[in-house]
Amino acid sequence: MRTLEGKVAIVTGASMGIGAAIAEELTREGARVALVARGRGALEAQAAKIGALARSYPCDMSDPAAIEDMVADVESDLGPVAILVNNVGAGTFKPLPPRSTPATSSATTPTWGGIPGCRPGSPCSNRRRWRVARFRRSGRTIAR
């Protein structure tokens, strides 16, 4: 039995790596999955590779208005979102400072959720109670 049959999931950072693997596993379990990332070409290729249960939604996750539009599009196309996998990655890429200077960056500052549009109190997080998908070491998907 596929445990996520009929559920809708959004997976950010889904064009490659961990996000792509999570999206693939969610579809194996029966979920309809919205793959989200900035790069349209890689995202569409990943959705095609995964199959009919996956659709691509290019979105700049640093833009709160774009996030709201993306969530609205996903819900219009696939139905109410039940699962959010917030796998988006961001960072600052620059040379390291000299050793005598304390290194600080936004990467060391804790943030909730990693994306501005899905922090507590934002319109994205207030839509409904999101279901949580947990991935154990075995790789099996469990919905709670």
Pure H helices in 51-97? 64-78
Terminal-to-terminal C-alpha distance of the chain = 16
Instruction: Supply the pLDDT for residue 87.
Output: 87
Fold of 8-89+111-143: Rossmann fold (3.40.50)
CA nearest 83: which of 126, 144, 136?
Answer: 144
Domain boundaries, the chain: 8-89+111-143
Q: What is the pLDDT of residues 87-144, one digit of tens each?
A: 887 666 677 666 654 444 444 433 334 444 455 555 455 555 544 444 444 444 444 4
Q: What is the pLDDT of residues 25-46, one digit of tens each?
A: 999 999 999 999 999 999 999 9
What is the pTM assigned to this prediction?
0.68
Where does residue 82 rank: exposed (0-12), middle (13-18), buried (19+ CB within 10 A)? Answer: buried
137 vs 75, more confident: 75
